Amino acid sequence: MGGRLTGMVLLDTCALLWWTLKPERLSPAAAAACEAALFDGIVISSISFWEIGIKVKKRKLVLPVSVSEYVSIVEALDRLEVVPVTAAVWLANLALKWDNRDPSDRTIVATAQLRGIPIVTADSRISSWYRHVIW
């Protein structure tokens, strides 16, 4: 893994949804990591917005506002950085020696790996492969 671990964390899509809409769903360790990361910054991959939009379209997720309103609210949060999926992220995604075929999971892991930061996630597929997970 490149980079150094910092106080910064990357939230996977579910952790983002829970942090912003249902913080009681976060584990105590995840909630503490999010609270502490507010000083150094919280990172999310822009692919999480795509994943949320797909879930809303398929009626697997109901938001209290439209997807575009939710994105605007999240983007306006202080100390939160939305990282675009760049060519470097796609190349890191492709280079992962991981049999997970979910593009969101792979992109989130690639982003965290490039940044050298842990991922806040309850996803066992991610935590079984990526060493630096907080849950």
2 pLDDT exceeds 90? no
Helix (H) or strand (E) holding 12: none
Note the pLDDT of residue 3: 44
99 or 5, which is more confident? 99
71 pLDDT exceeds 90? yes
Range 80-103 average pLDDT: 96
Helix (H) or strand (E) holding 77: none
- Per the prediction, the chain carries an average pLDDT of 94
Q: Tell me the two tokens of residue 17.
A: 């949804």
63 pLDDT exceeds 90? yes
Between CA 123 and CA 10 the distance in angstroms is: 13
Look up residue 133 and give its DSSP letter.
Answer: E
The tens digit of pLDDT for each residue in 36-60 reads 888 889 999 999 999 999 999 999 9
**CATH fold group of domain 9-128:** Rossmann fold (3.40.50)
- Reported in sequence order, the residue ranges of 41-116 that DSSP labels E, i.e. its strands, are 42-45, 80-83
Note the pLDDT of residue 6: 54
CB of 56 closer than 8 Å to CB of 63: yes
Range 75-99 average pLDDT: 96
- Where residue 7 falls among pLDDT bands split at 50, 70, 90? confident
Q: Tell me the two tokens of residue 127.
A: 């935590």
